Each structure stands twice: as C-alpha cells, then as structure tokens.
Structure 1
Amino acid sequence: MANIALESLRSIVNSTIEKESSDLWTHINQQLHQHPETAYEEVFAHDTITKFLEDRGFTVKRSTYGLPTSFEAEIGSSGRLVVVCAEYDALPQIGHACGHNLIATSSIAAFLAAASALKQSGAAGRIRILGTPAEEGGGGKAKLIDAGAFKDDVAAAIMAHPMCAHQFSDDVGKYSGLAALKMIASHKFRTEFRGKTAHAAGQPWDGVNALDAAVAAYNNVGLLRQQIKPDERIHAVIEVGGTVPNVITDYTRMNWNVRSPTLAGADKLLARVKACIEAAATATGCELNYIVAPTYANLTANKALCETYVDEMKAVGENVLLQQQEQVTASTDMGNVSHIAPSFHGVFAIPTDSDVSLHNPKFAAAASTKEAHDIALNCAKGMAMLAVRVLLDEELTSKAKYDFEHNHDW
C-alpha cells in the first residue's frame, strides 16, 4: 500500500473510533462493567452488544454456533477474512477483574473502524466480529472452533487484553502495551468424590468421607508442587465440601487447573496430578469421577502481525513492547485459535497501583475508569489498522501465514 493511502486509512480509523467513543463508553463499557456475567451466562452482554451493532446498520447473527451468548457480524463478500474476537464474560464475585468490558469495547471499536476503512477503500476483503463467551474457564473459543466458527480461511484473528504495566515490563512507564503476548497451556477439569454418610460422632466407622478425599488430593498435589518446573502451575479449589460437621460428607467437588508452557508438557503434568487425585480416592475408599472442560492451548505470537501492530501504535503515539522473552504463566482460549490461524493477542496497560494484578477487585475498579476506556480505544486504532493492512497488503498476509506455519516458537 502506498503511504498516502495508508495515511488516509488511518484517518478514517481514528475518526471512526473518536466519533464512537462516547457511545462505546456509555452503552458498552459501562453497561457491561455494571452487569457482570459469568461463563455462558452473558445474556445481557450478548443482547447489549448485538443491539449496538444492529443500531449501526450491521446484520448480526445471534446465538451462533450452538452457543446462546455468541454472536457474529461481518461486512464484505470476497477477499481475505480477518476475525476480531470479542470477550465479555466476568469472574464470579469479583466481576470484571480481568477487564473483559474493555476487551469488548476495544474489539467492537476495532471492528467498526476497520469496517469503515475497508468500505471507503473500495477494496475486497471481509472483516468479522465474533462474540466469544466464557473465556474465564469455559473454553468458549475451543467450543467455537469445534462448531466451525473458524472453518473459513482466516488471514488473521485479532484481539487485545488489558493488563497492569508491571505485569509485562520491569520498566514501568516506558511501554504502553505489549504486542507478542505468550501464555501457557492449561488443562481444566473438576473432580467428584463420592462416599457414604454416617453420624460423625456416633458411628463414624460406617462412613466413607469424601471431604477427606478432597483434602488428601489437595495435600498430595501440594507436595507434588515441590517437584514441578518453575514455569508450571497447579491450582485447585473445593467447590462443594459438605454440609454440617456431625455428618460424614458423602460428596465433594473440586475445580482444577494444570498448566505448563506447552500442551505436551501439560499432558505430562496432568498424568502426575491425576496420580495424586486417584491416590486420595484409593486411600479413602471414595469413588472418583472426572468432569473435563476444554483444554487451553499455549498462546503463540505471530511475528509479522506483532511488528505491524507496533508500527501502527507508533502512528498514534504509543510505544509498545514487541515481545517478552518469557511466557506469562496464565492461559487463554485464544491460544487454541493461535494454533489454527495467524493470531494477534496484544496487551494494553491500564493504570493501577503497584500491588494490583489481574483477577483482583482493584483491577475490576481500574477497568471501569474513563482513562482505561481511552487506552482501550487507542489500542483499537492499532488493531483496526492491523486488520486493514492484513486485508489489503498481500506481502503482510504472506509473512503472517509463513510465521504461523514456521515460527510457533518465536
């Protein structure tokens, strides 16, 4: 693309986002933040976002791919396809402590701006926004992949996540974001232990204690943690632990995450964790059942897409770090997408205190501020231009495809 054409497209992108900023703040950002919904329960968010898009003339498919809270809208009928992923689920009890209200805001803004630029360019190309529910543990994107949401030849899948600056850079204040976010793989599952009730004082010998099984499993894994690698993680909570102390507990349920930098590593660690869990069932005499959720693949970064995003953020006055050497020891179902299509999952830093991190109530408060909103929209300008350049620049698309096929360890 000629530089003059590129500047013209940037102007369209910037003006579109600036024009929509107030409505995005009022009708998307704040509404989602004030109505947090957990995985697959995002009815308000689904209806709010789809109406917002319909009010702007887009034909929106609701409840797509068998998921009631997914949606899809698209412009263009030929040429390459870019998919902008939007997340909007929240966490139990602590709301938008992962800032998905900002993700929805930035993704919608990027879609609107890229669509406007593509339309005014007159070029071929398709830009799609895909509503992806249940990132927080529900594996929405994994289910969307299985249902065919990415069956088309996708030139790029794009989104970005808010984060505290100190979580991706030691030089806080130097960088306003990160392009090449990399995350580790995660197996997610629940375990059920079933035993037998009895009077805990009168005849405890007649009981089979499912709470003992849960505690033993937790402790066994606690010992295992001494022998795992520094970049591996195991987490568990007891979701159901019994009723009253004078009744032997006959049912418990635990929720588990088992993480490692790669899927192969996560598989090996999972086998060790299961040995700990199964030993607890054997020791207590409880029956054990696994409830398996979608596995999150490690998130890989695409060099060509990341470099282009960094360039575009420079154009709006932002200094974005290209990559980190280490993976972030967290996981996302966008990792699954990055294994089937060239993908961009960037980071934009929102202001927080130095003791705040993701999944903290103070981060939820930070995600509701006007300053965070404006930062999300700045990121949207870079994502929109990244989408436009993928659609219109054959060389960039070829590089992104090459990086996807050959540079998964970049």
Structure 2
Amino acid sequence: MAGGGRESGHRMAGAYPAEDSPSSPELPITHISSAIDARAKSLRDINREIHDNPELGYREVTAHDTISDFLEGQGFKVTRHAHGLDTSFEAEYGSGGRLVIFCAEYDALPGIGHACGHNLIATSSVGAFVALAEIIKQLNIPGRIRILGTPAEEGGAGKVKLLEAGAFQHDVAAAIMVHPTAAHSFPAGFTALAGVKFIASLKLRVEFHGKPAHAGGEPWKGCNALDAAVAAYTSISMLRQQIHPDERIHGVIEDGGTVPNVITKYSRMNYYIRSPTLKRGEELLARVKSCFEAAAAATGCTYNYIYTPTYMNLRINNTLSQEFAKGMTLMGVKTIPRSEEPFTFSTDMGNVSYVVPTFHGAFGIPAPKDAMPHQPKFAEASGTDEAHDIALSCAKGMALLGWRVLTDDEVAAKAMRDFKEKDPED
C-alpha cells in the first residue's frame, strides 16, 4: 500500500463506511465546501487573471506568479520554478500517511487563448488543494497533499519533463485533475464525467533538404523541398481514407520556403499521429513515415526526423473514478462514472497514468452548440462566471476524492491494484 497510512479495518468492497468513521465521505463535505466557498472570490480572481492573460507553454509567467502569490498568501511555502522548469511551482501540506498530487495546467493556445479552458483546470486544482489542506489541519489526520504546476500541456509535454525530473516519485497514491469541455457534449442532466479515456499522440517533425536554384532561369539545377512537403501532405491525406475511425493524423507545413523565384531548399512539417493505444499508434506512425520517405525519394531531397515526447493514452483508474462520481453525487452533481468510447484528444496526463494511480475527470461548461475545446467560442465560454462555479464544484469533488485516498486504506489499495493491472488494450 503506497505511503503507509491510517488503519481503518476491513470493509465490504464498494461500500461507503459509516458516517462516524474518520474516512466517511459525509464528514468532510461541509468543511470542504465551506473552505472553497470562503475563497471563491480569490479563486475567481486567479481564474480571471489567467484567462485574460493567455500564455503559451513554458511562458506562463503571469499564471505561475499569480498562483504562487495566492498560495503564499494562504500560508503555504511555495517552490517557484520547480523541478528545473521556469513556470512550474510546487507546494505541499501535511505529514506522514499517503501522498496525493493535484495537477494544475494553465497554458493557452496560440491565437485563440484559453480555448481549452486551462484557466479552469488551474482554479479547480488550487481550490481542491487549499480546501483539503484545511481539513487535514482541522481534523489532524496523517497524509500529504501537493499542488504541482504543470506547464505546457498543449504540445510541450510539461508533465513528461516533470516525470523525468522526479516530481511524481516517492509513492504517490493518486494524481488528480479535471478538464472542462462543452456541456452539450454530455447527456442531458449530467455535469461531469469521472473516468475519461483519451488516446495516445505520437509527435514528430520532418525536415526536407533540397537544393536552391533560380526558379525561372535554371530550375533543373534545383531540388525542391517544398515539393517534398506537398507530396508528403497529399500522400498522408490519402492515407486517412484507410485508417480506423478512432485514429487521427493531422499536420501543418511550418516552413515552406521564402520567395517564389528561388527553388525551396528547406521545408519542415509538424505532425501528430493519434491512436487509442501506443501499439496501434506506432503501427500508424510507420505508415505515415513511409509517406515522408517516399516524398523525399520522389523529389530527390534528403530528410530527417525531429521527435518530441509521445503523449501516452490515458489509463482510467476505476476505483478513483468511482469514488469521484460517488462524491459528486453526494453533492448533488450528476456524474458519469467513466467513458467507454475514447475521446480523440490526447494529454500528457496519460504519461502520468502509466507511473502512478491517476484520476483525470471532465466537466461541462455552458457553451454554444457550435463550440468545443480548441475553438475561439470555447475560450469565451471558459471565462464566464458559470464556468467558474462549475469548476469549483469539481474542486470540491477532487478534494473529497483526495480525502478518500488519504483516509481509507481500502480505497487507496484498490486504486493501486487498478493501476498495476495491465489494460488488455495496451
């Protein structure tokens, strides 16, 4: 059992303990709600500051400083620029027992700001952390909680760098976060989803190197790297007809030359290859690379690959998902226990789910019918008071989930068993 912990005896599988038990979920709900409600204005200020000042990955200076200042104002000792990353931070509370980590994301998208709602992720994780810290102090229970700032989720693999730096070592019992989406993507009446299934994303850039020449005077002396990029793009577009419905291939030409009258000597493309499992993703990647290599051969160019970290598929931890859903239901929020079909999105939290027991939920915010994450209208929706209030309700659910992991040995042990059990799809 990770990290030791409080003795609580044997209980029936899946049953909640009696109300007078120290680990009863009913016990801290009022305290958690009060702790978050008392800080609602300050948390709204954090949310608004991050939303109104969108920053790209590894440049989230305002978000880093805003959250760090708030935590220090609440009496926590904050490690700024944690784990060698300028815009990561870390704070911890408690002693003994098990360790629970709340992950906070806060990077934005180029050109469309917080169209993925990471301002709401940061707000909910910070709220959960401060509320659970207060309960630990009030009730004097063993256990440690940590808030970890995780920059650059949008393609920058911030959590991968944090994993490499050891931020998730030392017997972590659970890593927890939630992510917003549009409420209209949920069945009527449901506000949240506990177990989210995201797919793997394999990322690479390809560079084509050709030979420059005067495009009007002596084009036969050149070797066109832009032609190689266009040929690869066309081949991959045709490949999409023959991939599975739950797979995705998408890319852009980042550099396509300079002026029309010079044969392009250099081009660069950036591609994401997504599939429900790493095994299938590797198989699809091999097919995509064949398109790159054929394009180079056809145009007489050379090529090389620039790899970036793979986002692994997100593994659902059934125990943590069930506990979150139960807790949200106790607070009157209808929650779907888990998704059976994968969302064709990817996250670096998937990498965390292969290292420690992980919970990654989702919640719906009011948004126009034509708005979903990574669209400008969703950026507007993520800044509203209504979205903030829903994020805080999930903060309460996350704090309660953290409480269950810290205080109930059976919950922690079952979550660890779920983590260690190999998914037959992987």
- TM-score, normalising length: structure 2: 0.93
Asked whether the 8 Å contact 1:301–1:408 carries over to 2, the reply is: no
**Residue correspondence of structure 1 range 3-152 to structure 2 within 5 A:** 3-4=19-20, 5=22, 6=24, 7-26=26-45, 28-152=46-170
**Residue correspondence of structure 1 range 150-229 to structure 2 within 5 A:** 150-167=168-185, 169=186, 171=187, 173-229=188-244
Cα deviation, residue 259, structure 1 = 0.8
The amino acid of 2:39's aligned partner reads E
SS at match of 1:295: strand
Q: Which of 247, 251, 256 in structure 1 is aligned with 2:271?
A: 256
The amino acid of 1:357's aligned partner reads M
The amino acid of 2:411's aligned partner reads L
CA–CA separation in structure 2 for the residues paired with 1:307 and 1:181: 12
CA–CA separation in structure 2 for the residues paired with 1:55 and 1:293: 37
Gap runs ≥5 in structure 1: none
Cα deviation, residue 407, structure 1 = 6.0
CA–CA separation in structure 1 for the residues paired with 2:100 and 2:424: 23
Asked whether the 8 Å contact 1:302–1:408 carries over to 2, the reply is: no
The residue number in structure 2 matching 1:291 is 306
The amino acid of 1:46's aligned partner reads H
Gap runs ≥5 in structure 2: 1-16
Asked whether the 8 Å contact 2:108–2:118 carries over to 1, the reply is: yes
SS at match of 1:294: strand
The residue number in structure 2 matching 1:367 is 382
- What do the CA deviations read for 1:117-166 (whole angstroms, capped 9, x no partner)? 11112111000011111110011111111111111111000000000133
SS at match of 2:232: helix
Asked whether the 8 Å contact 1:87–1:131 carries over to 2, the reply is: yes
Q: Which shifted more, 355-364 or 45-54?
A: 45-54
CA–CA separation in structure 1 for the residues paired with 2:135 and 2:399: 9
The two structures, once aligned, show a CA RMSD in angstroms of: 1.3
The residue number in structure 2 matching 1:379 is 394
CA–CA separation in structure 1 for the residues paired with 2:342 and 2:359: 15
Asked whether the 8 Å contact 1:96–1:367 carries over to 2, the reply is: yes
Asked whether the 8 Å contact 1:82–1:126 carries over to 2, the reply is: yes
Asked whether the 8 Å contact 1:300–1:409 carries over to 2, the reply is: no
CA–CA separation in structure 1 for the residues paired with 2:416 and 2:322: 14
The amino acid of 2:141's aligned partner reads A
CA–CA separation in structure 2 for the residues paired with 1:103 and 1:82: 17
Cα deviation, residue 8, structure 1 = 3.4
The residue number in structure 1 matching 2:3 is none
CA–CA separation in structure 2 for the residues paired with 1:340 and 1:16: 31
Identity within the alignment, %? 58
SS at match of 1:257: strand
Asked whether the 8 Å contact 1:87–1:103 carries over to 2, the reply is: yes
Cα deviation, residue 409, structure 1 = 5.7
Asked whether the 8 Å contact 1:156–1:344 carries over to 2, the reply is: yes
**Residue correspondence of structure 1 range 261-276 to structure 2 within 5 A:** 261-276=276-291
Cα deviation, residue 55, structure 1 = 1.1
